[in-house]
Every structure is written in C-alpha cells, then in structure tokens.
Amino acid sequence: MGSVRWAFRCGSWTPSRSDWLFAARCVQREEKDRIGQFVFAKDAKSAMAGRLLLRKFVCERMGIPWSEIKLERTPRGKPYLAAPLRINSDSVRFWSFNLSHQGDFAVLAAELGMQVGVDVMKITMPGSSSVPEFFRIMTRQFTEYEWSIIQSPSSEDQQLAAFYRHWALKESFIKAIGSGLGFNLQRVEFHLSSEPLTQGQVLRQTKMHLDEEEEEDWMFEPPSLPPPTTFTLLSFSELIASASPLTEEDPSYWESFQMKAEAPQRQRDTRTSV
C-alpha cells in the first residue's frame, strides 16, 4: 500500500477528560506544550489531531513502535521522522507524509516513493472586507491567468470557491517541497481541469506550470466535496488505536483546555473544501 489519505473531524470532536489527557500523554513533550499554548480549543484540537495522525501513520505504516518515534521539524517547520532511522528499511527511507488542518478537518496524506503535500481549506467569507477588496489584497498570490479563472464565475460564492481551490493547490505544492513562506507564488501557475467537482471523484487533470514551463512530474488531486470522500475518515478510537503514552498524566492540562473558548466569536463560515 503506497498511498495513505486519512482525515479526522477535529472541529466537532468534543474530547472527554480521559481522551484529552490520554492524547496529551501520547505526543512528544514539546508538542504537548505547544498545543497547550493555543488560545482557542479548536486550534488545540486540530494540532493534537495532527500529531496523532502523524504518529499513527509512522507507527502503523512505517512499522515503528509509537514510543520510539521521534518527530522533528525542518527549519521551515515541516515535520519529519528524525529517529529511529533504520538505514536499510525502504519503508522508512521512501515514505513522504504531510499534514493539514483547518476548519472541521485534520488530514494526513502520505506516499511511498513520491513527495507529497496536502492542504485543506475552509471556504470562508472575508471577515471585514468585501470579496473584491479581499481579492485586491491577495493580488500578488496568483498570476494574471489564475485571476482570470478565479473571477470568471458570475457569483461571489463561486469566485471564492475558485479562489480557495487555487490557494489549496499552491499550498499543497509549497508544502510538498517544504519551502513555507519564502516561496514566490508567482512562479507557479495552475491550470485546472474543466471537469465539475462531483462527490467521491478525484480529478487528476490539473496541470502546474513552474517558471512558465509545464511540469510533468507532479500530480494533483484537487478537492472532493465535503466530507472528504477520497480520505478515510477516522474515529478517535482509530486515531489512538496504536498509541502508547510517552509521559505521565497531567491533570492541569485538562483544566487549562476546559478554560479555552472554542473559537473567536466573529468567525463566519460557509462550507469546507479539501
């Protein structure tokens, strides 16, 4: 099995005390501390789900016992398996994995023998500005050609959907190469498949141009409509099925989680796209 697509519905996850404390024990101490610092519960839950997805993947698909897994981040923030590195194991050398969490979902994509990047986007109305003003602020993120496609539908809803679809494609590429914010987004231009999105169908016709040359070596799986049908949706029990505690229970971690508001009040949502 050379391809993994997992999703966890962290937005509607309401962890019990024992679930949250157990989850906290099963991630590395520095990640537990980082998650504890989020102001809003939605961010803490999605980051926690992300860590559990990563460890579940490394444990179950790369065959490394949970307690031996040591994940670190590149200087630009991309998680990778730092230890144990069994030099002769193909599965350790050739798996690539990436994580995204936004809105209702935390998702993991992994590929054997190929670099992978994943991005999940929640389609939201711009908070305080109008859609044209929002697009104006974002001008430099897309090429002229991409803007012509994004702005071609007559309704603002459809324009926003096209905007976020392009956005997620750029992000997934940036995340596959691990470059983070430093990458000039004008260098990549997407030419989307003209097929309409339908439930459960993966479109692979999207092409990417890098520095004006079409790239043949990249494959894009643009969105399935929510829920993400191309991903296997995991329950919390499945998420922690292979987990084993790394640290002692810390009751204060639950107390501080309980004090957090779910999300900032002014968040206005429409729907979610992967």
Ligand X SMILES: CC(C)(COP(=O)(O)OP(=O)(O)OC[C@H]1O[C@@H](n2cnc3c(N)ncnc32)[C@H](O)[C@@H]1OP(=O)(O)O)[C@@H](O)C(=O)NCCC(=O)NCCS
Residues contributing to the site for ligand X (CB under 6 A): 47, 50, 76-79, 98-102, 119, 141, 167, 170-171, 174-175, 178, 180-181, 185
Nearer to ligand X, 173 or 254 (CB): 173
Q: How far is the CB of 143 from ligand X (least distance, A)?
A: 11
Q: DSSP 3-state assignment of 268?
A: coil
143: left (phi over 0), alpha (psi -120 to 50) or beta: beta
Residues 146 and 162: beta-carbon distance below 8 Å: no
Closest residue to ligand X, based on beta-carbon distance: 77
Q: How far is the CB of 126 from ligand X (least distance, A)?
A: 14
Contacts with 3 (C-beta within 8 Å, 6 or more apart), sequence order? 110, 111, 112
Q: How far is the CB of 179 from ligand X (least distance, A)?
A: 6
Nearer to ligand X, 180 or 264 (CB): 180
Nearer to ligand X, 89 or 141 (CB): 141
Nearer to ligand X, 181 or 259 (CB): 181
Tokens of 170: 């750029």
d(CA 210, CA 212): 5
For residue 65, is the peptide bond before it cis, meaning its omega torsion is within 30 degrees of 0?
no
Q: How far is the CB of 19 from ligand X (least distance, A)?
A: 19
